[in-house]
Protein backbone atom coordinates (compact mmCIF):
# COMPACT_ATOMS: atom_id res chain seq x y z
CA UNK A 1 0.00 0.00 0.00
CA UNK A 2 3.01 2.29 -0.15
CA UNK A 3 2.95 2.98 -3.88
CA UNK A 4 2.39 6.59 -4.93
CA UNK A 5 0.17 8.24 -7.50
CA UNK A 6 3.19 8.52 -9.81
CA UNK A 7 2.99 4.78 -10.45
CA UNK A 8 -0.26 5.15 -12.37
CA UNK A 9 -0.27 8.88 -13.13
CA UNK A 10 1.19 8.34 -16.58
CA UNK A 11 -1.49 5.93 -17.75
CA UNK A 12 -3.14 7.43 -20.83
CA UNK A 13 -6.52 5.89 -20.16
CA UNK A 14 -6.56 7.30 -16.66
CA UNK A 15 -5.54 10.73 -17.89
CA UNK A 16 -8.58 10.72 -20.18
CA UNK A 17 -10.87 9.82 -17.29
CA UNK A 18 -9.76 12.25 -14.58
CA UNK A 19 -7.76 15.44 -14.53
CA UNK A 20 -5.13 15.56 -11.79
CA UNK A 21 -3.96 19.06 -10.92
CA UNK A 22 -1.13 20.08 -8.58
CA UNK A 23 -1.64 22.38 -6.82
CA UNK A 24 -5.24 23.62 -7.22
CA UNK A 25 -4.27 27.32 -7.26
CA UNK A 26 -2.36 26.83 -10.50
CA UNK A 27 -5.35 25.35 -12.35
CA UNK A 28 -8.35 27.02 -13.91
CA UNK A 29 -10.68 28.24 -11.14
CA UNK A 30 -13.33 25.56 -10.68
CA UNK A 31 -17.03 26.22 -11.03
CA UNK A 32 -17.99 23.45 -8.61
CA UNK A 33 -15.26 23.21 -5.99
CA UNK A 34 -15.87 20.67 -3.30
CA UNK A 35 -13.39 22.52 -1.10
CA UNK A 36 -15.47 25.69 -1.03
CA UNK A 37 -18.62 24.44 0.64
CA UNK A 38 -21.58 26.59 1.67
CA UNK A 39 -22.44 26.73 5.35
CA UNK A 40 -24.72 23.99 6.61
CA UNK A 41 -23.53 21.31 4.17
CA UNK A 42 -22.22 19.06 6.93
CA UNK A 43 -25.13 19.48 9.34
CA UNK A 44 -26.79 16.26 8.24
CA UNK A 45 -27.78 15.02 11.67
CA UNK A 46 -29.35 18.38 12.51
CA UNK A 47 -31.50 18.72 9.43
CA UNK A 48 -32.47 15.04 9.46
CA UNK A 49 -33.65 15.21 13.07
CA UNK A 50 -35.58 18.39 12.31
CA UNK A 51 -37.07 16.84 9.17
CA UNK A 52 -38.05 13.63 10.98
CA UNK A 53 -39.73 15.65 13.74
CA UNK A 54 -41.65 17.64 11.14
CA UNK A 55 -42.79 14.43 9.47
CA UNK A 56 -43.94 13.03 12.82
CA UNK A 57 -46.12 16.10 13.40
CA UNK A 58 -47.54 16.13 9.86
CA UNK A 59 -48.22 12.36 10.01
CA UNK A 60 -50.15 12.86 13.25
CA UNK A 61 -52.18 15.71 11.75
CA UNK A 62 -52.98 13.82 8.53
CA UNK A 63 -53.89 10.52 10.22
CA UNK A 64 -56.01 12.24 12.86
CA UNK A 65 -57.79 14.36 10.25
CA UNK A 66 -58.49 11.34 8.02
CA UNK A 67 -59.92 9.24 10.86
CA UNK A 68 -61.98 12.07 12.39
CA UNK A 69 -63.27 13.12 8.96
CA UNK A 70 -64.36 9.55 8.28
CA UNK A 71 -66.05 9.41 11.70
CA UNK A 72 -67.87 12.68 10.99
CA UNK A 73 -69.03 11.60 7.53
CA UNK A 74 -70.23 8.22 8.74
CA UNK A 75 -71.73 9.05 12.15
CA UNK A 76 -72.37 12.80 12.02
CA UNK A 77 -71.37 15.54 14.50
CA UNK A 78 -71.69 13.44 17.66
CA UNK A 79 -69.35 11.51 19.96
CA UNK A 80 -72.06 9.00 20.86
CA UNK A 81 -73.78 7.72 17.71
CA UNK A 82 -77.03 5.82 18.26
CA UNK A 83 -76.82 2.02 18.52
CA UNK A 84 -73.26 2.25 19.93
CA UNK A 85 -72.12 2.30 23.56
CA UNK A 86 -71.11 5.67 24.97
CA UNK A 87 -67.74 6.87 23.65
CA UNK A 88 -67.30 3.59 21.77
CA UNK A 89 -66.66 5.26 18.41
CA UNK A 90 -64.25 8.01 19.63
CA UNK A 91 -62.31 5.41 21.62
CA UNK A 92 -62.09 3.26 18.52
CA UNK A 93 -60.91 6.29 16.52
CA UNK A 94 -58.22 7.09 19.09
CA UNK A 95 -56.93 3.50 19.01
CA UNK A 96 -57.13 3.61 15.21
CA UNK A 97 -54.97 6.76 15.07
CA UNK A 98 -52.45 5.41 17.57
CA UNK A 99 -52.18 2.09 15.74
CA UNK A 100 -51.70 3.75 12.37
CA UNK A 101 -48.93 5.98 13.70
CA UNK A 102 -47.22 3.01 15.36
CA UNK A 103 -47.24 1.04 12.11
CA UNK A 104 -45.76 4.03 10.27
CA UNK A 105 -42.97 4.03 12.83
CA UNK A 106 -42.56 0.24 12.61
CA UNK A 107 -42.12 0.49 8.84
CA UNK A 108 -39.39 3.09 9.46
CA UNK A 109 -41.12 5.58 7.19
CA UNK A 110 -39.16 8.37 8.90
CA UNK A 111 -35.81 6.61 8.88
CA UNK A 112 -32.83 8.92 8.20
CA UNK A 113 -31.81 6.46 5.47
CA UNK A 114 -34.89 7.15 3.32
CA UNK A 115 -36.36 10.52 4.32
CA UNK A 116 -36.17 12.99 1.49
CA UNK A 117 -35.50 10.26 -1.09
CA UNK A 118 -38.96 10.15 -2.68
CA UNK A 119 -40.15 6.80 -4.07
CA UNK A 120 -38.96 4.52 -1.25
CA UNK A 121 -40.43 6.89 1.33
CA UNK A 122 -43.80 6.89 -0.42
CA UNK A 123 -43.73 3.10 -0.76
CA UNK A 124 -43.22 2.63 2.96
CA UNK A 125 -46.03 5.04 3.78
CA UNK A 126 -48.49 3.21 1.51
CA UNK A 127 -47.37 -0.23 2.75
CA UNK A 128 -47.76 0.87 6.36
CA UNK A 129 -51.26 2.22 5.67
CA UNK A 130 -52.39 -0.99 3.93
CA UNK A 131 -50.91 -3.10 6.73
CA UNK A 132 -52.75 -1.01 9.33
CA UNK A 133 -56.08 -1.70 7.72
CA UNK A 134 -55.26 -5.36 7.27
CA UNK A 135 -54.50 -5.71 10.99
CA UNK A 136 -57.62 -3.75 12.00
CA UNK A 137 -59.81 -5.87 9.71
CA UNK A 138 -58.45 -9.08 11.20
CA UNK A 139 -58.81 -7.87 14.80
CA UNK A 140 -62.34 -6.61 14.16
CA UNK A 141 -63.28 -9.97 12.67
CA UNK A 142 -61.72 -12.07 15.42
CA UNK A 143 -63.07 -9.96 18.30
CA UNK A 144 -66.36 -9.28 16.49
CA UNK A 145 -66.03 -5.56 17.04
CA UNK A 146 -69.09 -3.64 15.99
CA UNK A 147 -67.94 -0.78 13.77
CA UNK A 148 -69.18 0.55 10.42
CA UNK A 149 -67.09 -0.72 7.50
CA UNK A 150 -67.75 2.48 5.55
CA UNK A 151 -65.97 4.43 8.28
CA UNK A 152 -62.83 2.35 7.80
CA UNK A 153 -63.10 2.29 4.00
CA UNK A 154 -63.15 6.10 3.85
CA UNK A 155 -60.26 6.62 6.26
CA UNK A 156 -57.84 4.43 4.25
CA UNK A 157 -57.76 6.30 0.93
CA UNK A 158 -58.06 9.73 2.54
CA UNK A 159 -55.25 9.07 4.98
CA UNK A 160 -52.93 7.28 2.54
CA UNK A 161 -53.30 10.00 -0.10
CA UNK A 162 -52.84 12.70 2.53
CA UNK A 163 -49.67 11.07 3.85
CA UNK A 164 -48.17 10.73 0.38
CA UNK A 165 -49.06 14.31 -0.55
CA UNK A 166 -47.56 15.77 2.62
CA UNK A 167 -44.40 13.68 2.12
CA UNK A 168 -44.24 14.96 -1.46
CA UNK A 169 -44.62 18.57 -0.27
CA UNK A 170 -41.86 18.15 2.33
CA UNK A 171 -39.69 16.44 -0.28
CA UNK A 172 -40.09 19.42 -2.61
CA UNK A 173 -39.05 21.66 0.27
CA UNK A 174 -35.90 19.59 0.80
CA UNK A 175 -35.08 19.83 -2.92
CA UNK A 176 -35.33 23.63 -2.72
CA UNK A 177 -33.04 23.62 0.30
CA UNK A 178 -30.52 21.40 -1.49
CA UNK A 179 -30.42 23.78 -4.44
CA UNK A 180 -29.15 26.37 -1.92
CA UNK A 181 -26.45 24.04 -0.60
CA UNK A 182 -28.30 22.89 2.51
CA UNK A 183 -29.60 19.48 3.63
CA UNK A 184 -26.73 17.71 1.86
CA UNK A 185 -24.98 14.41 2.52
CA UNK A 186 -21.20 14.89 2.54
CA UNK A 187 -19.50 11.83 1.04
CA UNK A 188 -15.92 10.61 1.18
CA UNK A 189 -15.39 8.18 -1.73
CA UNK A 190 -12.80 5.41 -1.67
CA UNK A 191 -11.55 3.21 -4.52
CA UNK A 192 -9.50 3.10 -7.68
CA UNK A 193 -9.89 6.31 -9.65
CA UNK A 194 -11.87 4.80 -12.53
CA UNK A 195 -14.33 3.19 -10.09
CA UNK A 196 -14.53 6.38 -8.02
CA UNK A 197 -15.18 8.43 -11.13
CA UNK A 198 -18.23 6.35 -11.95
CA UNK A 199 -19.45 6.43 -8.34
CA UNK A 200 -19.07 10.20 -8.07
CA UNK A 201 -20.80 10.74 -11.43
CA UNK A 202 -23.82 8.74 -10.26
CA UNK A 203 -24.00 10.41 -6.86
CA UNK A 204 -23.78 13.96 -8.21
CA UNK A 205 -25.78 13.49 -11.41
CA UNK A 206 -28.97 14.81 -9.85
CA UNK A 207 -28.54 17.77 -7.49
CA UNK A 208 -31.88 17.03 -5.83
CA UNK A 209 -30.43 13.78 -4.41
CA UNK A 210 -28.35 15.96 -2.11
CA UNK A 211 -24.94 14.25 -2.34
CA UNK A 212 -21.75 16.31 -2.13
CA UNK A 213 -18.47 14.42 -2.59
CA UNK A 214 -15.96 16.20 -0.37
CA UNK A 215 -12.95 13.95 -0.86
CA UNK A 216 -11.52 10.94 -2.68
CA UNK A 217 -9.28 8.30 -1.09
CA UNK A 218 -7.18 6.14 -3.43
CA UNK A 219 -5.62 2.76 -2.48
CA UNK A 220 -1.85 3.01 -2.14
CA UNK A 221 -1.78 6.79 -2.56
CA UNK A 222 -0.10 7.59 0.76
CA UNK A 223 -0.58 10.88 2.65
CA UNK A 224 -2.36 13.80 1.00
CA UNK A 225 -0.19 15.94 -1.32
CA UNK A 226 -2.66 18.72 -2.09
CA UNK A 227 -3.77 17.13 -5.38
CA UNK A 228 -7.28 17.15 -6.77
CA UNK A 229 -9.35 15.27 -9.33
CA UNK A 230 -11.92 16.83 -11.63
CA UNK A 231 -14.95 14.64 -12.26
CA UNK A 232 -17.90 16.03 -14.23
CA UNK A 233 -16.84 19.57 -13.38
CA UNK A 234 -16.52 18.88 -9.66
CA UNK A 235 -13.02 19.56 -8.29
CA UNK A 236 -12.48 17.12 -5.42
CA UNK A 237 -9.40 16.82 -3.19
CA UNK A 238 -7.48 13.54 -3.01
CA UNK A 239 -7.26 13.01 0.75
CA UNK A 240 -4.78 10.10 0.68
CA UNK A 241 -5.24 6.36 1.00
CA UNK A 242 -7.21 4.13 3.41
CA UNK A 243 -4.83 4.95 6.24
CA UNK A 244 -5.76 8.63 5.94
CA UNK A 245 -9.53 8.18 5.72
CA UNK A 246 -10.44 8.66 9.38
CA UNK A 247 -8.43 11.89 9.60
CA UNK A 248 -9.98 13.10 6.30
CA UNK A 249 -13.49 12.44 7.61
CA UNK A 250 -12.91 14.94 10.38
CA UNK A 251 -11.05 17.55 8.33
CA UNK A 252 -13.52 17.49 5.42
CA UNK A 253 -16.69 17.06 7.50
CA UNK A 254 -17.84 13.85 5.79
CA UNK A 255 -20.85 12.06 7.24
CA UNK A 256 -20.82 9.11 4.81
CA UNK A 257 -18.05 6.89 3.46
CA UNK A 258 -18.79 5.33 0.05
CA UNK A 259 -16.59 2.44 -1.05
CA UNK A 260 -16.30 1.51 -4.73
CA UNK A 261 -14.86 -1.99 -4.36
CA UNK A 262 -13.94 -3.74 -1.11
CA UNK A 263 -11.00 -5.84 -2.29
CA UNK A 264 -8.45 -3.42 -0.77
CA UNK A 265 -9.95 -3.79 2.71
CA UNK A 266 -10.86 -7.43 2.90
CA UNK A 267 -13.36 -8.89 5.37
CA UNK A 268 -11.40 -7.85 8.47
CA UNK A 269 -10.66 -4.40 7.11
CA UNK A 270 -14.32 -3.66 6.39
CA UNK A 271 -15.30 -4.88 9.85
CA UNK A 272 -12.64 -2.70 11.43
CA UNK A 273 -13.77 0.30 9.38
CA UNK A 274 -17.35 -0.21 10.57
CA UNK A 275 -16.12 -0.21 14.19
CA UNK A 276 -14.08 2.94 13.61
CA UNK A 277 -16.95 4.82 11.97
CA UNK A 278 -19.56 3.83 14.55
CA UNK A 279 -18.48 6.22 17.36
CA UNK A 280 -18.08 9.00 14.78
CA UNK A 281 -21.70 8.68 13.65
CA UNK A 282 -20.56 8.23 10.05
CA UNK A 283 -22.45 5.94 7.66
CA UNK A 284 -20.73 3.35 5.49
CA UNK A 285 -22.13 2.47 2.06
CA UNK A 286 -20.64 -0.01 -0.39
CA UNK A 287 -21.25 0.04 -4.14
CA UNK A 288 -22.62 -3.29 -5.38
CA UNK A 289 -20.98 -2.88 -8.78
CA UNK A 290 -24.31 -3.28 -10.59
CA UNK A 291 -26.21 -0.49 -12.34
CA UNK A 292 -29.88 0.35 -12.84
CA UNK A 293 -31.24 -2.39 -10.57
CA UNK A 294 -34.36 -1.41 -8.63
CA UNK A 295 -34.45 -1.88 -4.88
CA UNK A 296 -37.34 -4.35 -5.23
CA UNK A 297 -35.03 -6.76 -7.09
CA UNK A 298 -32.31 -6.73 -4.44
CA UNK A 299 -32.66 -9.32 -1.68
CA UNK A 300 -30.19 -9.81 1.16
CA UNK A 301 -29.52 -13.54 1.40
CA UNK A 302 -27.48 -14.75 4.40
CA UNK A 303 -25.44 -17.78 3.33
CA UNK A 304 -22.89 -19.53 5.57
CA UNK A 305 -22.62 -16.41 7.70
CA UNK A 306 -22.04 -14.12 4.72
CA UNK A 307 -24.55 -11.41 3.75
CA UNK A 308 -24.90 -12.09 0.01
CA UNK A 309 -26.88 -9.77 -2.24
CA UNK A 310 -29.21 -11.65 -4.59
CA UNK A 311 -30.54 -9.90 -7.70
CA UNK A 312 -33.90 -11.31 -8.73
CA UNK A 313 -34.85 -11.55 -12.39
CA UNK A 314 -37.09 -9.07 -14.25
CA UNK A 315 -40.87 -9.49 -13.89
CA UNK A 316 -42.26 -8.79 -17.35
CA UNK A 317 -43.62 -12.29 -18.01
CA UNK A 318 -46.41 -14.50 -16.68
CA UNK A 319 -49.06 -13.10 -14.36
CA UNK A 320 -47.34 -9.70 -14.21
CA UNK A 321 -47.81 -9.39 -17.96
CA UNK A 322 -51.56 -10.08 -17.64
CA UNK A 323 -51.82 -7.55 -14.82
CA UNK A 324 -50.14 -4.90 -16.95
CA UNK A 325 -52.42 -5.66 -19.91
CA UNK A 326 -55.55 -5.32 -17.80
CA UNK A 327 -54.38 -1.96 -16.49
CA UNK A 328 -53.50 -0.78 -20.02
CA UNK A 329 -56.98 -1.57 -21.35
CA UNK A 330 -58.78 0.19 -18.50
CA UNK A 331 -56.52 3.24 -18.48
CA UNK A 332 -56.46 3.73 -22.27
CA UNK A 333 -60.23 3.39 -22.57
CA UNK A 334 -60.77 5.90 -19.75
CA UNK A 335 -58.35 8.44 -21.29
CA UNK A 336 -59.94 8.23 -24.75
CA UNK A 337 -63.44 8.65 -23.33
CA UNK A 338 -62.57 11.54 -21.00
CA UNK A 339 -60.54 13.42 -23.61
CA UNK A 340 -62.92 12.86 -26.54
CA UNK A 341 -63.99 16.57 -26.68
CA UNK A 342 -60.30 17.58 -26.70
CA UNK A 343 -59.53 15.05 -29.45
CA UNK A 344 -62.34 16.48 -31.59
CA UNK A 345 -61.13 20.07 -31.07
CA UNK A 346 -57.57 19.11 -32.01
CA UNK A 347 -58.75 17.37 -35.17
CA UNK A 348 -60.67 20.49 -36.27
CA UNK A 349 -57.66 22.75 -35.51
CA UNK A 350 -55.31 20.57 -37.58
CA UNK A 351 -57.65 20.63 -40.60
CA UNK A 352 -58.02 24.41 -40.40
CA UNK A 353 -54.28 25.03 -39.98
CA UNK A 354 -52.82 23.07 -42.91
CA UNK A 355 -53.76 20.66 -45.66
CA UNK A 356 -53.39 16.94 -45.10
CA UNK A 357 -54.89 14.25 -42.90
CA UNK A 358 -55.62 14.69 -39.22
CA UNK A 359 -53.61 11.64 -38.20
CA UNK A 360 -50.07 10.63 -38.99
CA UNK A 361 -49.13 6.96 -38.99
CA UNK A 362 -45.57 5.80 -38.70
CA UNK A 363 -44.12 2.30 -38.69
CA UNK A 364 -42.60 1.43 -35.35
CA UNK A 365 -41.08 -1.75 -33.97
CA UNK A 366 -42.87 -3.30 -31.03
CA UNK A 367 -42.40 -6.23 -28.70
CA UNK A 368 -40.21 -9.05 -30.03
CA UNK A 369 -39.39 -6.97 -33.12
CA UNK A 370 -42.94 -6.97 -34.55
CA UNK A 371 -43.73 -3.86 -36.66
CA UNK A 372 -46.94 -1.87 -36.16
CA UNK A 373 -48.42 1.45 -37.30
CA UNK A 374 -48.29 4.05 -34.52
CA UNK A 375 -51.00 6.72 -34.67
CA UNK A 376 -50.40 10.35 -33.74
CA UNK A 377 -51.96 13.69 -34.54
CA UNK A 378 -50.19 15.24 -37.53
CA UNK A 379 -47.88 18.04 -36.37
CA UNK A 380 -45.89 18.56 -39.58
CA UNK A 381 -46.64 19.52 -43.15
CA UNK A 382 -48.06 16.79 -45.37
CA UNK A 383 -44.77 16.00 -47.19
CA UNK A 384 -42.54 16.08 -44.08
CA UNK A 385 -41.01 12.67 -44.73
CA UNK A 386 -39.79 13.69 -48.17
CA UNK A 387 -38.10 16.76 -46.72
CA UNK A 388 -36.15 14.75 -44.13
CA UNK A 389 -33.16 14.00 -46.39
CA UNK A 390 -32.51 17.69 -46.93
CA UNK A 391 -32.45 18.30 -43.16
CA UNK A 392 -30.21 15.42 -42.03
CA UNK A 393 -27.19 17.74 -41.97
CA UNK A 394 -28.96 19.78 -39.27
CA UNK A 395 -29.56 16.79 -37.00
CA UNK A 396 -28.94 17.80 -33.37
CA UNK A 397 -29.02 14.26 -31.98
CA UNK A 398 -25.89 12.33 -31.01
CA UNK A 399 -27.40 8.98 -32.00
CA UNK A 400 -29.55 7.41 -34.69
CA UNK A 401 -32.54 9.64 -33.91
CA UNK A 402 -33.29 12.83 -35.84
CA UNK A 403 -33.87 15.82 -33.55
CA UNK A 404 -34.09 19.48 -34.49
CA UNK A 405 -35.41 22.16 -32.15
CA UNK A 406 -36.39 24.56 -34.94
CA UNK A 407 -37.71 22.01 -37.43
CA UNK A 408 -39.24 24.01 -40.33
CA UNK A 409 -41.68 21.19 -41.11
CA UNK A 410 -43.69 21.68 -37.90
CA UNK A 411 -46.98 23.54 -38.29
CA UNK A 412 -48.31 26.22 -35.94
CA UNK A 413 -50.86 23.89 -34.38
CA UNK A 414 -48.26 21.10 -34.37
CA UNK A 415 -45.88 23.21 -32.31
CA UNK A 416 -48.55 23.69 -29.65
CA UNK A 417 -49.48 20.00 -29.66
CA UNK A 418 -45.86 18.92 -29.27
CA UNK A 419 -45.24 21.37 -26.46
CA UNK A 420 -47.93 19.70 -24.34
CA UNK A 421 -47.58 16.19 -25.87
CA UNK A 422 -51.20 16.33 -27.06
CA UNK A 423 -50.16 14.84 -30.40
CA UNK A 424 -49.54 11.54 -28.59
CA UNK A 425 -53.11 11.06 -27.31
CA UNK A 426 -54.14 8.85 -30.29
CA UNK A 427 -51.44 6.38 -29.22
CA UNK A 428 -53.93 5.10 -26.65
CA UNK A 429 -55.68 3.54 -29.66
CA UNK A 430 -52.48 1.53 -30.16
CA UNK A 431 -52.72 0.52 -26.51
CA UNK A 432 -56.23 -0.86 -27.06
CA UNK A 433 -54.97 -2.71 -30.15
CA UNK A 434 -52.23 -4.33 -28.00
CA UNK A 435 -49.41 -2.72 -30.00
CA UNK A 436 -48.29 -0.48 -27.16
CA UNK A 437 -48.52 -0.13 -23.40
CA UNK A 438 -49.35 2.95 -21.35
CA UNK A 439 -45.84 2.90 -19.87
CA UNK A 440 -42.77 1.45 -21.57
CA UNK A 441 -39.68 2.21 -23.65
CA UNK A 442 -39.90 4.80 -26.42
CA UNK A 443 -41.34 3.25 -29.64
CA UNK A 444 -38.36 2.93 -32.03
CA UNK A 445 -38.20 3.29 -35.82
CA UNK A 446 -37.04 0.38 -37.99
CA UNK A 447 -33.79 2.16 -38.91
CA UNK A 448 -33.06 2.61 -35.21
CA UNK A 449 -33.60 -1.08 -34.45
CA UNK A 450 -31.35 -2.08 -37.36
CA UNK A 451 -28.50 -0.19 -35.68
CA UNK A 452 -29.05 -1.76 -32.23
CA UNK A 453 -26.37 -3.90 -30.66
CA UNK A 454 -27.25 -6.97 -28.58
CA UNK A 455 -27.65 -4.99 -25.37
CA UNK A 456 -30.06 -2.42 -26.81
CA UNK A 457 -32.22 -5.18 -28.31
CA UNK A 458 -33.47 -5.84 -24.76
CA UNK A 459 -35.75 -2.84 -25.28
CA UNK A 460 -37.90 -5.11 -27.46
CA UNK A 461 -38.67 -7.53 -24.62
CA UNK A 462 -41.61 -5.33 -23.59
CA UNK A 463 -44.14 -3.27 -25.52
CA UNK A 464 -43.23 0.37 -26.19
CA UNK A 465 -45.13 2.93 -24.15
CA UNK A 466 -47.04 6.16 -24.57
CA UNK A 467 -44.91 7.45 -21.69
CA UNK A 468 -41.92 6.15 -19.79
CA UNK A 469 -38.69 7.05 -18.05
CA UNK A 470 -37.55 8.94 -21.15
CA UNK A 471 -40.69 11.10 -21.01
CA UNK A 472 -40.17 12.22 -17.42
CA UNK A 473 -36.37 12.57 -17.64
CA UNK A 474 -35.90 15.17 -20.34
CA UNK A 475 -37.64 13.85 -23.49
CA UNK A 476 -35.88 15.24 -26.55
CA UNK A 477 -33.11 16.81 -24.44
CA UNK A 478 -31.75 13.35 -23.61
CA UNK A 479 -28.67 12.05 -25.37
CA UNK A 480 -28.91 8.74 -27.22
CA UNK A 481 -26.97 6.87 -24.52
CA UNK A 482 -29.13 8.36 -21.76
CA UNK A 483 -32.34 7.38 -23.55
CA UNK A 484 -31.10 3.82 -24.12
CA UNK A 485 -30.02 3.46 -20.50
CA UNK A 486 -33.43 4.62 -19.24
CA UNK A 487 -35.24 2.19 -21.55
CA UNK A 488 -33.09 -0.74 -20.46
CA UNK A 489 -33.56 0.22 -16.82
CA UNK A 490 -37.33 0.17 -17.31
CA UNK A 491 -37.25 -3.25 -18.96
CA UNK A 492 -35.23 -4.78 -16.13
CA UNK A 493 -37.07 -3.09 -13.25
CA UNK A 494 -40.70 -2.94 -14.34
CA UNK A 495 -43.35 -2.95 -11.62
CA UNK A 496 -46.99 -1.89 -11.43
CA UNK A 497 -46.26 0.68 -8.74
CA UNK A 498 -43.43 2.03 -10.87
CA UNK A 499 -45.83 2.48 -13.79
CA UNK A 500 -48.26 4.43 -11.61
CA UNK A 501 -45.48 6.71 -10.39
CA UNK A 502 -44.29 7.32 -13.96
CA UNK A 503 -47.81 8.24 -15.04
CA UNK A 504 -48.02 10.75 -12.18
CA UNK A 505 -44.60 12.18 -13.07
CA UNK A 506 -45.62 12.49 -16.73
CA UNK A 507 -48.23 15.07 -15.81
CA UNK A 508 -45.52 17.25 -14.24
CA UNK A 509 -43.11 16.72 -17.14
CA UNK A 510 -45.74 17.74 -19.68
CA UNK A 511 -46.70 20.81 -17.66
CA UNK A 512 -43.06 21.94 -17.53
CA UNK A 513 -42.73 21.54 -21.34
CA UNK A 514 -39.04 20.70 -20.87
CA UNK A 515 -37.49 18.84 -23.80
CA UNK A 516 -40.64 18.97 -25.93
CA UNK A 517 -39.97 19.95 -29.55
CB 502 within 8 A of CB 473: no
The confidence score (pLDDT) of residue 478 equals 66
The confidence score (pLDDT) of residue 514 equals 57
The answer on pLDDT for 35 being more than 60 is: no
The confidence score (pLDDT) of residue 392 equals 66
CA distances from 198 to 192, 194, 195, 292, 420 (A): 10, 7, 5, 13, 35
The confidence score (pLDDT) of residue 292 equals 61
Residue of 487 and 406 predicted with greater confidence: 487
The confidence score (pLDDT) of residue 8 equals 36
The answer on pLDDT for 385 being more than 90 is: no
* Other CB atoms within 10 Å distance of the CB of residue 357: 12
Q: Summarize the confidence of residues 107-113 as an average pLDDT.
A: 84
Taking only the tens place, the pLDDT of each residue in 273-302 is 888 888 888 888 887 766 666 666 666 776
The confidence score (pLDDT) of residue 371 equals 94
The answer on pLDDT for 427 being more than 70 is: yes
Q: Summarize the confidence of residues 387-412 as an average pLDDT.
A: 69
CA distance 53 to 107: 16
Q: Angle 506-175-131 (CA atoms, 0-180°, nearest 5)?
A: 70
Q: Provide the mean pLDDT of the chain.
A: 79
CATH 3.40.50.20 is right for the domain spanning 6-42+184-289: yes
Q: Band of the pLDDT at 486, cuts 50, 70, 90?
A: confident
Taking only the tens place, the pLDDT of each residue in 256-277 is 898 887 777 777 888 888 888 8
The confidence score (pLDDT) of residue 224 equals 84
The confidence score (pLDDT) of residue 513 equals 57
The confidence score (pLDDT) of residue 28 equals 33
Task: Enumerate the CATH 3.40.50.20 domain ranges in the chain, comma separated.
Answer: 6-42+184-289
DSSP one-letter code for 380: B
Q: Of 505, 481, 514, 111, whose CA–CA distance to 291 is shortest?
A: 481
The percentage of residues in the chain with a pLDDT greater than 90, rounded to a whole number, is 21
Q: Is 262 helix (H, G, I), strand (E, B) or coil?
A: coil
Q: Band of the pLDDT at 32, cuts 50, 70, 90?
A: very low
DSSP one-letter code for 329: H
The confidence score (pLDDT) of residue 399 equals 56
Amino acid sequence: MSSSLDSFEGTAALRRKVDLVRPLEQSVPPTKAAVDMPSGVFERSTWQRRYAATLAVSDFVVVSAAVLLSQYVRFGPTWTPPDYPQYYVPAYSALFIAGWLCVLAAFRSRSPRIIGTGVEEYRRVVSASLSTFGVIAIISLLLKLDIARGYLALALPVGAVGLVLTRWAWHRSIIRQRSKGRCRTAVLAFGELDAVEHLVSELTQNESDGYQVVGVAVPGYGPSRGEHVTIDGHVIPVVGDEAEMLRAIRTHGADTVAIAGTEHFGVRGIRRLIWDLEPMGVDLVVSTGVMDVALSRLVMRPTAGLPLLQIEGPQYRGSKKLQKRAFDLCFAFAVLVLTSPVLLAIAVAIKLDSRGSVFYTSERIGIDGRPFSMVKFRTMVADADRQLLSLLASNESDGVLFKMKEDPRITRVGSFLRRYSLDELPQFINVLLDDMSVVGPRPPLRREVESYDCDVLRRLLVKPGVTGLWQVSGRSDLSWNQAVRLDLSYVDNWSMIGDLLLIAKTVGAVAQKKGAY
